Amino acid sequence: MMQKIDPIIRKSRCNFRSAVLDPFAWRGGKLILSKQNLRFEPNSLEYDTSSLSIPLHNITSINARYPDFLSNRIVVLLKDGSIIEFRVPKRKEWIQDLIETTGNNLIRTDIPVIRPKSTIRFIRAVAKILAIIFSVSALTFLLQKLFTK
């Protein structure tokens, strides 16, 4: 028995992250839109090589996160409440193809783009970095005072 082939509508390079505000979570790869799925396939050199396939019926809404002409981000809200962010070239064409493929207009501007847990992790990471910088500065100052007498 032959498998049905899901025809590809659009394919391009892409950066992906599922934890918004986690600055180190971007993964490079390819984003593929087919008749039934939105699929991310990571580059082979990424630390996490697991792919992600989202059935189109699980997408609640799509937000062009920054509505200016310079940005290339698309935020996807899923039925389970999770938020996924993509950076793609030709964002307008991607959004148009998503609208045509799903058969309805999923574009919204009221998607929450900040998750509290991610915000807290981000603030903690910044605080740790600042503490390290302060410690190194204080140690450098003390060593200079000690050895310049």
How far is Cα 33 from Cα 49, in angstroms, rounded to an integer? 19
Q: What is the pLDDT of residues 53-82, one digit of tens each?
A: 888 888 888 877 665 556 788 888 888 888
Q: Is 91 helix (H, G, I), strand (E, B) or coil?
A: helix
CA distance 36 to 13: 19
Domain ranges of the chain: 8-112, 115-149
pLDDT single digits (tens) 77-127: 888 888 888 889 988 888 888 888 877 666 654 444 445 556 677 788 888
Q: Tell me how far apart the alpha carbons of residues 60 and 111 are, in angstroms, rounded to a whole number.
A: 10
Which residue is listed with tokens 């060593």?
A: 143
| Prediction pTM value | 0.62
What distance in Å separates the CA atoms of residue 43 and residue 50, rounded to the nearest whole number?
10
Are the beta carbons of 37 and 53 closer than 8 angstroms? yes
Tell whether domain 8-112 is in CATH 3.40.50.20: no
Structure confidence at residue 134 as a pLDDT band (50, 70, 90): very high
3-class DSSP assignment, residue 54: strand
State residue 30's pLDDT score.
92
